[in-house]
Amino acid sequence: MESINIYCDESSLENANKKYFVLGAISWDRNATKEIRQNLKNILEKYDFHSELKWHNISLGYEKLYKEIIDYVFIDTNISFRAIVVDKEKMDLATYHENDQELAMYKFYYLMLRFFMKSFYKYYIFLDKRNKKDRKRTEVLSHFLKANILNNDIQSEIKHLQEYDSKELLFIQLADFFTGAISFAYEPTQKSDFKKSIMEYIEQKKHSKLSDGSLRTERKFNIFEIQLNREE
């Protein structure tokens, strides 16, 4: 079996001023991890960058750095990115999620991650660490992903699923960067001209607007807006 690493983050779930929240996952063949890490570190060192590579923290002084990171992600054929976008106003928390926004998020994590599940692969999944009300969320998520593999006769394995502090894992920061950009694209009232320019640079590489989503078959940079009705 081939092995795949998947690094995940979320944006805007708990921000009451944001209409949408986004879950994003960046992935590649596990064997390419060392090379990708070194290439990213080379870019960061080139610009003497020592902060977290997160969308919330981007600043004008590192514009060339962000663009080079974006170029690299779109050029490297090992790397792919997937995100789902959820309209929080249409989530029926009371009926479907026990009035628990956190529970809803992990359910949507399941929906996103199960799209990765294909036969003859081993999956290593790294989630951004968060302060959870229920410490068993990741254990339950792993259980349901394994059940999905079993129930659909997918000859694959979940070898690892655990949360990590993004400060210690550059790849989760990378997922945060692109996830945050998509969240920004779905909030047209935001005012940052610099963030808009970086968002538009990603759109140039993707050849479409981030807020337009993607075809289901898009493999490099896929954005799926979940269509919930008012009753979900």
Indicate the burial class of 231 (C-beta count within 10 angstroms; 0-12, 13-18, 19 or more).
exposed
pLDDT at position 93, please?
78
Architecture of domain 2-225: 2-Layer Sandwich (3.30)
Place of tokens 């997160």: 54
pLDDT at position 230, please?
46
DSSP state, residue 129: P
Q: Coil, helix or strand for 232?
A: coil
Over the chain (232 residues), the average pLDDT of each successive run of 10 is 95 87 97 98 97 94 98 97 93 79 92 91 95 83 93 91 95 98 87 93 96 89 83 43
pLDDT at position 96, please?
74
Residue 137: count other Cβ atoms within 10 Å of its Cβ: 18
Q: Tell me the domain boundaries of the chain.
A: 2-225
Overall pTM > 0.95: no
pLDDT at position 232, please?
41
pLDDT at position 229, please?
63
